[in-house]
Amino acid sequence: METMTVERVIDAPIDDVFTWLTTTTNYTASPLVLRCRLARHGEDAPYGVGAIRGHLWLVGWFRERITRYDPPHATEYVVERCLPPARHELGRMIFTEVDGGTRVQWTTRAEIRVPLLGALLTRLIARPILTRTFGNILDVADTALSRRHAGPRR
């Protein structure tokens, strides 16, 4: 199992950053994300606990279920099914107010399911692809939200 974390400070208020990043249809603003849809609404919010999301990225297809929704501080999910097949223990975004905006820490813990070679393939292939994709989505969020809050940089 490999833990992968990407962090960014996004130049926008925490509530806006949380809303943008938990509304995963926004991810299609990234050239690495082809389609995202909300298949089932969550209990207390569309992207809240119990929500089911479907994502088609250049690197694969993922069906995710939200397991924690604590606006504007944290959200967690688990990948229930995916292609290519992988074992997934955790997906988490933590949001913290900081000077200059909101720090986002996006962590996933997963491994490609291939006998004997899964850990190696995860480290050499999945890790760089997933961290690049997460980073790209965070960069797109920063661009979109910074435009919305245009003015002097904090």
Given this model, what pLDDT does residue 71 score?
Answer: 98
Residue 14 is assigned to a structural domain of this protein: yes
pLDDT for 120 equals 63
What is the token pair recorded at 99?
């000077």
Q: What residues contact 70, with CB distance under 8 A and at least 6 apart?
A: none
- Asked if residue 110 is part of any domain, the answer here is yes
Res 85: pLDDT: 82
- Report how far residue 12's alpha carbon sits from residue 117's, in angstroms, rounded to the nearest whole number: 41
In a domain, 132, yes or no: yes
For the domain that residue 83 is a member of, what is the CATH number? Answer: 3.30.530.20
In a domain, 17, yes or no: yes
Determine the structural domain holding residue 52 and report its residue range. Answer: 2-148
Q: How confident is the model at residue 154, as a pLDDT?
A: 45
Per-residue pLDDT of the chain (154 residues; tens, 9 = 90+): 889 899 999 999 999 999 999 999 999 999 989 999 999 999 999 999 999 999 998 888 999 999 999 999 999 999 999 988 888 889 999 999 999 899 999 999 987 766 676 666 667 677 777 888 899 999 999 999 987 766 554 4
Is 80 inside any structural domain?
yes
Quote the CA–CA distance of 40 and 49 in Å, as a whole number.
10
**Burial of residue 59 (number of CB atoms within 10 Å: 0-12, 13-18, 19+):** middle
Residue with tokens 């389609």: 35
Rounded-to-integer distance, Cα 8 and Cα 6, Å: 7
Instruction: Return the pLDDT at 72.
Output: 98
For the chain, the domain total comes to 1
Residue 124 is assigned to a structural domain of this protein: yes
